[in-house]
Chains A and B, each alone.
Chain A
């Protein structure tokens, strides 16, 4: 089992370009999340999904859109990239079990640079 995978691993964009980051999981988890991590900072939640066909805003949703058309995939889109979106993006998934602390399983990350 691959667990949680992210594509691409690295990307350089010019200001104004668009792109989509793909997160795929084979763990059959309901919940999926997109975070961004900037140097010296923790993970900030961008958007999340509690199941197929649902999405919700996190702490820093502006400039991003998401879609969850299939349970195993969660897409993060940047319509018009800005230098402030230079970051490392992590996808995470979890099976909804509050007793287990909602343990999240992370993908390897996507390093995005916007020039």
Chain B
């Protein structure tokens, strides 16, 4: 089966940098995605890593190490609006077509 582990909560100060880690276990791994979800809203796609290394998109960066089954999302210059839940998700292509399996999410609280 598949499993993903990420911290349940992280708190950081406005303007700071925060890293949200994700470890995964899956047999048909293709890549790791990150999604953001504000309270009451729908998840929105942030980034995707298929290869090892760092991908940067503005204030957000995502990293993947396939050999360690590990990735992280890095948020820089934190703003109050970044307070949300962040989900890592693996793209799994083992059987029956490709599907995305989500972690339980990390709730990020940004304090002034």
Contacts and interface: CB of A to CB of B under 8 A. Distances in A.
A and B co-occur in one complex: yes
Interface of A: 31, 33, 35, 40-45, 48, 50, 56-59, 90, 92, 96, 98-109
Contacts, number: 76
A102 B35 CA distance: 12
Contacts of A42: 4, 87, 102-105
A102 B43 contact: no
A45 B105 contact: no
B58 interface: no
B87 to A, nearest CB: 6
Interface of B: 4, 8, 30-31, 33, 35, 41-45, 47-50, 87, 91, 93, 96-105
Nearest to A44: B102
A32 B43 CA distance: 15
A45 B87 contact: no
Given A42-B87, A106-B44, A101 B50 contact: yes
Contacts of B98: 31, 50, 96, 98, 102
A29 B101 CA distance: 19
B96 A106 contact: no
Contacts of B43: 43, 90, 92, 104, 106
A41 B45 contact: no
Contact of A59 (B30, B41, B87, B101): B101
Contacts of A41: 104-105
Contact of B33 (A96, A101, A109): A101
